[in-house]
Chains A and B, each alone.
Chain A
Amino acid sequence: MSSDQSLRINDLCKSYGGAPVLDRFSLRVAPGEFVALLGPSGAGKTTLLRCVAGLIAPDSGEIMLGRQPMHLLTGAALRRARHDIGFVFQQFNLVRRRTALGNVLTGRLSDVALWRIVLGRFPDADRRAAFSALERVGLLDQAWQRADSLSGGQQQRVAIARALVQRSRLMLADEPVASLDPAAAESVLSLLREVAREHEMSVLCSLHQPALAERYADRICAIAAARGPLTIA
């Protein structure tokens, strides 16, 4: 991949009710690079990741994903751009009453005809992709299990598989292991790093444990609380 696919964040600002959360934040993530965002809670890690995903709009600054100006996109253009971004959440965010397979297929939602989604009849190619993603994260035997019957570590693996079938170029992960026990945390992070390397996917992953960041990331970006009346420790 060319350097054209990198993520570049320049002078990003975002404040809530006058309190700055991000103050002229800049960062560059090269293709295939695993960057850990390290900082205390309240430092703006979630805000930053959600800005990049286009889930919230920054006040100023720019976010370039390849040639796409994420901070300028709205509507259908934003939806198309999101297709290139996988997001792994702290709380996994699986649809509880769907199977692991159904949740992985969420990653293919944009290209499937509406009637197929209503009837749950995804095209064979998508189902094959979903099965192989589940196999990659080691959960093929759990494909038909309902999401809410899986353990936390398994749910996060399903979430990674969901981002994999989307064939995104950038993976954003917001405290992906904060809700997991230490062993599950290690295995989820090493899986994240492996799949990122296999697919030359960039990863921007927020963490609050320096030891984990050092072990799994190519580079660590420390993020401190923006200047301002921050009262929460």
Chain B
Amino acid sequence: MSPWRGVRFGLILLAVAAFYAFCIAFAEIDLSRLWRGLPRLGAWAARAWPPDFSDFPALLTRAAETIAMATLGATVGALIAAPLCLLAARNTAPVSFLQLPARWLLDALRGIDSFVFALLFVAAVGLGPFAGVLGIALHSAGSIAKLWSESIESVERGPIEAAMMSGAGRLRIIVHALLPDVLPSLSSSMLYIWEFNLRASTVLGLVGAGGIGQELKSSIDLLDFPRVLAILLIIMAMVTAVDQLSALIRRRIA
């Protein structure tokens, strides 16, 4: 190893260390506060056992609400994403001057979290899961369109050119010659977003957008820890079940 490479390595190490020091300072990391808080956390954990499932039917209804929100959110998101991804993908964009604005739009949708959208919709359409669905739908639209346009851009050009020789227009070619080959990866992306939405939508209750998060928030506010534990267990079971189901379907269509 030449001495210069040693010096360069040292400088990189120094820069990374400086960056971490900056992050630790700005995040107000203070281990002594954690140390002082530990007994309180421990007491809560001790009080949480056994979990309180006395409200089980009501909690299940809320869990179902969360699943419904995630599913409808992903579906409406996909409906918005379908035209958007065709505008944004290099090989399907009908007019190139719309391609960049379409990408900006989907990056904006993707960049703003469902949580933030839900906050706005709660203010606009009132409390409840409907606001949650709208919030999830907008964020999902951006994520799905991004994943879909990447799948579409990676498709082979050959079959499309062959279909072009039939003299057919763009939409017919997309439906007949492009869609069949990308459908598995499009469905897989959509399932992935569905899973992701379920995890994300458990917290939407915090802003009053319905679902099991709402129960979680009210139980924490009341310091009802056995109920909090019951809700967390239900969330874990629900998320695991949906992850497994989605993974199973994705393996089958791959």
Interface of A toward B, CB cutoff 8 Å: 53, 55, 79-83, 85-87, 89, 91-98, 102, 105-110, 112, 114, 117-118, 159, 162-163, 166
Contact = CB atoms under 8 A, between A and B. Distances in A.
B168 A110 contact: yes
Interface stretch (B95-103, B110-118, B157-165, B210-218): B157-165
For the complex of A and B, 7 pairs with smallest distance between CB atoms: A83-B167, A93-B158, A109-B168, A110-B168, A93-B162, A110-B167, A97-B180
A114 B167 contact: no
B39 interface: no
Interface centre among B158, B164, B168, B177 (most CB of A within 10 A): B168
Contacts of A159: 162
B172 interface: yes
A147 B224 CA distance: 61
B161 A108 contact: no
Given A95-B180, A163-B165, 20 more contacts: A55-B164, A82-B166, A82-B167, A86-B165, A89-B161, A91-B158, A92-B158, A95-B163, A95-B176, A96-B180, A96-B181, A97-B181, A98-B176, A109-B166, A109-B177, A110-B167, A110-B168, A114-B172, A162-B162, A166-B166
A94 B166 contact: no
Nearest to B173: A109
A79 B168 contact: yes
Nearest to A109: B168
B175 interface: yes
Given A95-B159, A114-B172, A107 B166 contact: yes
Given A93-B158, A95-B177, A109 B171 contact: no
B232 interface: no
Interface string B144-185: 000000000000101101111111110111011100110100
Contact of B158 (A83, A89, A105, A108): A89
A94 B162 contact: yes
Which bucket holds chain B's interface residue count?
20 to 34
A82 B173 CA distance: 14
A159 B183 CA distance: 22
A110 B181 contact: no
Contacts of B164: 55, 79, 82
A55 B157 CA distance: 12
Interface of B: 156, 158-159, 161-169, 171-173, 175-177, 180-181, 183
A61 B49 CA distance: 85
Contacts of A162: 162
B172 A112 contact: yes
A108 B165 CA distance: 10
Contacts of A89: 158, 161-162
B166 A93 contact: no
A81 B173 CA distance: 16
Contacts of B158: 89, 91-93
Contacts of A105: 176
Contacts of A106: 162-163, 166, 176-177
A85 B156 CA distance: 21
Interface centre among B172, B173, B176, B180 (most CB of A within 10 A): B176
Nearest to A83: B167
Contacts of B168: 79, 109-110
19 contacts: A55-B161, A79-B164, A83-B166, A87-B162, A94-B162, A95-B176, A95-B180, A95-B181, A97-B181, A97-B183, A105-B176, A106-B166, A106-B177, A109-B163, A109-B173, A117-B172, A159-B162, A166-B166, A166-B167
Nearest to B169: A79
Nearest to B163: A106
B165 A82 contact: yes
Nearest to A80: B167
A80 B171 CA distance: 15
Contacts of A86: 165
B175 A117 contact: yes
